[in-house]
Amino acid sequence: MMGSPAKEVKTLSAEQQAGLVKGAEIYVKEFKQFKLRCSRTIAEFVVYEK
């Protein structure tokens, strides 16, 4: 779907749909790891500043 109003550009195959799902799962996993690293960095900074 693209545009406003939305219209179908092309239909994805089952393989393409599965690829999108896998990509989204990887994105969420990477975000969670990034968030954890950021929180550790902030905690270290706060401890260091005190």
Specify if 14 maps to a domain: no
Question: Would residue 5 count as lying in a domain?
Answer: no
Within-domain flag for 50: yes
29 is a domain residue: yes
What's the structural domain count of the chain? 1
List pLDDT tens digits, range 24-46. 999 999 999 988 888 776 666 66
Q: What share of the chain is helix, strand, coil (3-state, %, to 5)?
A: 70, 5, 25
Whether 47 is covered by a domain: the verdict is yes
- Is there a contact between 34 and 41 (Cβ–Cβ < 8 Å)? no
| Domain span holding position 35 | 20-50
In a domain, 4, yes or no: no
Per-residue pLDDT reduced to its tens digit, 7-26 = 888 888 999 999 999 999 99
**Is the pTM for the entire model greater than 0.75?**
no
